[in-house]
Amino acid sequence: MGSIQRPDPGEMDRIFRTKREWHKEQASLSMKEKVRILLSMQRADYPLLKRQRRLEWWEKPWEIEP
Amino acid sequence: MATMRDVFEVLNELKRDGVVEDYAVGGGMAFVFYVETIRTYDIDVFVFLPPQDGPIIQMTPLYADLKRRGFEPHREHVMIHGVPVQFLPSYNELVDDAIKTSQPIEYEGVEVRVVRPEHLIALALQTGGEIRRERVNLLTTATDVDEEVVRELLKRYEIAT
């Protein structure tokens, strides 16, 4: 088996830098926007979680606005 | 429909009315204040309760007050405006410190007291678990955490990393 080809280290640095920047951007969103995302995540996850395991009574999407 | 602002407002009312001496939002919701949105289904609130008779702190007075306000306790949570909130009386010195040093952060015109990132890291490492370690990684990647403060907390409270 030949040697495994690796990506250019500079390209990997760029990818990881972009990833870090994305996390920072998401972190800098307003709290209201983050809560809006959280509510949307809860609604999307709920049917999947319910299929995977028995949920606690409180593990359900919050019925509020951001 | 109620908003998250209404939920935080109730926490401030509890403090204003002396039902709790102080509080600080911790857990997953506190992380959301500092990093990207992470999944959470409840809000953890650390509290100092007013002095009581006897050596063991009772949650009954807090739950009774919340019930009078229309928020029904159910086992370890209280549903406040449709959001399950878990009140945790301060259970060790690190939590004491986390409440005392918490910072006010504004949410839609309401000030919410939130545990600082350095204390969130120490609490997460003290409690342990894979999910909490992931959250610590997120915090250190996305925010300016004072590493010296974290080191000092870990040393003071003898938390292994």
Give the whole-angstrom CA distance, residue B25 versus residue B8. Answer: 9
pLDDT at A1 over 70: no
By three-state DSSP, how is residue B35 classified?
Answer: coil
pLDDT at A9 over 70: yes
Please say whether the beta carbons of B19 and B32 come within 8 A. no
pLDDT in tens, B35-89: 999 999 999 999 999 999 988 999 999 999 999 999 999 989 999 999 999 999 9
Chain A nearest C-alpha distance from B75 (Å): 10
Q: Report the 10 Å Cβ neighbour count for A41.
A: 15
CB burial of B72-99 (b: ≥16 within 10 Å; e: otherwise) equals ebeeebbbbbebbbbbeebeeebbebbb
Which residue among B34, B41, B82 sits closest to A27, beta carbon to beta carbon?
B34
CB < 8 Å from B in window 22-41 of A: 23-24, 26-27, 29, 31-32, 34-35, 37-38, 41
Q: Are strands B43-48 and B83-89 parallel, antiparallel or unpaired?
A: parallel
Structure tokens at B72: 């029904």
Residues 6 or more apart whose CB falls under 8 angstroms from that of B30 comprise: B24, B44, B114, B115, B120
Q: Which residue of A has its CA nearest to B138?
A: A23
Is B39's Cβ below 8 Å from some Cβ in A? yes
Report the percentage of chain B scoring pLDDT > 90.
93
Whether the predicted model's global pTM rises above the 0.80 cut? yes
Please say whether the beta carbons of B105 and B112 come within 8 A. yes
Chain A nearest C-alpha distance from B27 (Å): 14
Give the whole-angstrom CA distance, residue A41 versus residue B131. Answer: 17
Task: Tell me the average pLDDT across A3-20.
Answer: 93
